[in-house]
């Protein structure tokens, strides 16, 4: 599926709005993330809960409608199930608590001018790169799908 | 509580959450794409690493939408700072400064270590807060529900260990 320059601009714009919302809602704020994990701040639970409450019915109706805005057939992959869902989830949760950032907010924090977030991005890229390099070995340990399927495009 | 960036209260959670839901649906309805950020780190790696994992078709074919989306997330942060009264670099880290108090070098090490876990963990899990937590849960996908429970539980344990047990 080719992506036209206009669509690239759309993804860039959508990402910018997404970044602005993450920045101003507390999702890219160290204190709000710690407050969520300490069960002291409702903010992030409210955000994730509302996002799911809006997306779930929208997704249900979009799937029934079955087409995109341009009339293309709506299609996306479901996530494959494997042991990595559990162990990878644990590792990511520890990293999220340590840095106060999940993947999107790492980029938002750098944009905001928070210099330490550059180290978080460097670590993340080395972590993702190591995962890719070790994939053949990890595949057996965690019963991961074949390389072409991957662990799940997220 | 105030945001570190603006020293002002955040927008209401219902507005933030509804906006993220709308963005997720717009990406699917207009772009025919499933929301997910963490694979984008693989797209960045693939620009310099050319092993079989990073040259697989499903990854390479997603460069043209994930890389603009990730660039946008960065720009959103820049825009947010500009709108808050001007962009400037900062080392401010809220509670970390108040209770752990490491200097800049320590923060870089701390963040790099956490980042390793995020990069490796999200790719092993096959998604992060967006792909599993928002899209996957909204689509009632079991692997996403399992993964979300795991990363939330690990985050709760880790932060409580750091701020309530160790400190």
Q: Give the mutation candidate from B13, B15, B49 for the A interface (greatest A CB count, under 10 A).
A: B13
Counting one residue from chain A and one from chain B, the pairs whose CB atoms sit within 8 A come to 539
Residue-wise pLDDT tens digits, B130-164: 999 999 999 999 999 999 999 999 999 999 999 99
**CA-based nearest residue in chain A for residue B70:** A15
CA distance B89 to chain A (A): 4
Residue-wise pLDDT tens digits, A36-78: 999 999 999 999 999 999 999 999 999 999 999 999 999 999 9
User: How far is the C-alpha of B8 from the C-alpha of B5, rounded, in Å?
Assistant: 8
8 Å CB contact between B69 and A103: no
Q: What pLDDT score was predicted for residue A150?
A: 85
Q: Give the mutation candidate from B111, B116, B129 for the A interface (greatest A CB count, under 10 A).
A: B111
For residue A51, which of B149, B74, B137, B143 has the smallest C-alpha distance? B137
Distances (CA, A) of B23 to A135, A153, B124, B155: 32, 18, 25, 25
Q: Under 8 Å CB-to-CB from B2, ≥6 apart: which residues?
A: B8, B9
Q: Which residue among B11, B77, B154 places its CB closest to the CB of A108? A: B77
Q: Which residue among B72, B80, B146 places its CB closest to the CB of A86? A: B146
Q: Which residues of B touch A146 (CB under 8 A)?
A: none
The residue with tokens 């701020």 is B163
Distances (CA, A) of A87 to B96, B120, B158: 27, 10, 15
CA dihedral B96, B77, A130, B104 (to 10 degrees): -30
Q: Under 8 Å CB-to-CB from A140, ≥6 apart: which residues?
A: none
CA distance B20 to chain A (A): 6
**Exposure string over B54-81, b if 16+ CB within 10 A, otherwise e:** bebeebeebebbbbbbbbbbbbbbbbbb
Q: What pLDDT score was predicted for residue B167?
A: 80
Q: What ipTM, to 2 d.p.?
A: 0.97
Q: How confident is the model at residue A153 (pLDDT cuts 50, 70, 90)?
A: confident
Whether the pLDDT of residue A3 is over 80: the answer is yes
Q: Which residue among B32, B88, B108 places its CB closest to the CB of A113? A: B88
Residue-wise pLDDT tens digits, B84-137: 999 999 999 999 999 999 999 999 999 999 999 999 999 999 999 999 999 999
Q: Please classify residue B166 by burial: count the beta carbons closer than 10 Å to its beta carbon, then call 0-12 exposed, 13-18 middle and 19+ buried.
A: exposed
**Three-state DSSP class for residue A89:** helix
Residues shown for chain B:
167
Residue-wise pLDDT tens digits, A110-151: 999 999 999 999 999 999 999 999 999 999 999 999 888 889
Q: What pLDDT score was predicted for residue A147?
A: 86
For residue A124, which of B70, B41, B133 has the smallest C-alpha distance? B41
User: How far is the C-alpha of A65 from the C-alpha of A23, rounded, in Å?
Assistant: 33
8 Å CB contact between A79 and B133: no
- The reply to whether A87 touches chain B by the CB within 8 Å rule is yes
Q: What pLDDT score was predicted for residue A1?
A: 59
Q: Looking at the DSSP assignment, which residues form a beta bridge with residue B69?
A: none
Whether the pLDDT of residue B166 is over 70: the answer is yes
Residue-wise pLDDT tens digits, B44-92: 999 999 999 999 999 999 999 999 999 999 999 999 999 999 999 999 9
């Amino acid at each position: 599926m080719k992506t036209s320059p206009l669509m690239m601009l759309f993804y860039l714009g959508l990402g910018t709005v997404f970044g602005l919302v993450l920045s101003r809602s507390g999702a890219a704020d160290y204190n709000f993330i710690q407050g969520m994990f300490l069960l002291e701040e409702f903010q992030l639970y409210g955000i994730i809960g509302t996002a799911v409450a809006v997306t779930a019915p929208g997704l249900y109706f979009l799937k029934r409608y079955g087409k995109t805005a341009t009339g293309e057939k709506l299609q996306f992959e479901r996530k494959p199930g494997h042991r990595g869902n559990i162990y990878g989830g644990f590792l990511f949760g520890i990293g999220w608590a340590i840095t106060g950032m999940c993947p999107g907010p790492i980029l938002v924090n750098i944009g905001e001018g928070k210099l330490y977030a550059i180290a978080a991005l460097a670590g993340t890229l080395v972590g993702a790169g190591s995962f890719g390099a070790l994939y053949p070995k990890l595949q057996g340990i965690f019963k991961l799908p074949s390389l072409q399927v991957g662990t799940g495009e997220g | 509580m105030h945001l570190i960036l603006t020293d002002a209260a955040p927008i209401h959670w219902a507005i933030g959450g509804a906006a993220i839901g709308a963005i997720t649906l717009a990406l699917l309805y207009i772009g025919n794409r499933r929301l997910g950020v963490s694979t984008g780190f693989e797209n960045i790696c693939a620009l310099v690493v050319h092993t079989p994992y990073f040259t697989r078709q499903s990854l390479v074919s997603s460069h043209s939408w994930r890389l603009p989306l990730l660039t946008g997330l960065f720009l959103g942060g820049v825009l947010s700072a500009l709108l808050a009264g001007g962009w400037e670099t900062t080392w401010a880290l809220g509670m970390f400064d108040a209770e752990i108090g490491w200097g800049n070098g320590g923060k870089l090490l701390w963040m790099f270590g956490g980042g390793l876990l995020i990069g490796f963990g999200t790719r092993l899990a096959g998604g992060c807060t967006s792909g599993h937590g928002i899209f996957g849960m909204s689509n009632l996908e079991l692997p996403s529900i399992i993964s979300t429970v795991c990363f939330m539980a690990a985050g709760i344990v880790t932060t409580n260990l750091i701020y309530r047990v160790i400190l």
